[in-house]
Amino acid sequence: MDLYKILTVALGGSLGSVARYITVRSVDARLNAMFPYGTLVVNVVGSFAIGLLYGLALRKTGFSEPWRLFLGAGFCGGFTTFSAFAWENFSLWEQKMAPAALMYVAATLVLGFFSVFAGSFVSRFLE
């Protein structure tokens, strides 16, 4: 393993984690709801960002490997919250809120996949 690459991912991941925390807290505080909107927003935005990054990197628009590691594996990896998604669904099921849990799963998957495609599509216009 290359220590420089590991540190690059670690720095991006730490910044992504802080951005996730701030985003989730801000969204949830504004909406003051039982539904985990903050995590949903983070997953959708993170999916769009990784799609955009992937699309740009494929077109070789100057993204070096360190930047791809920093932004992709690092920042986006730290920013997206699949483990929180899984826990929140478990919690909704435990609270006998099955319809909300099913909606959350469906919305996250559909919007997440759509956002990856949208990010990749938008990247074509940024060359």
Annotated binding residues for Na(+), written as ranges, equal: 77, 80
Contact at 8 Å (CB) between 106 and 43?
no
Q: List residues forming the annotated binding site.
A: 77, 80
Going by C-beta distance under 8 Å and a sequence separation of 6 or more, which residues neighbour residue 92? 98, 100, 101, 104
Helix H or strand E segment including 38:
helix 37-58
Residue indicated by tokens 């849990």? 101
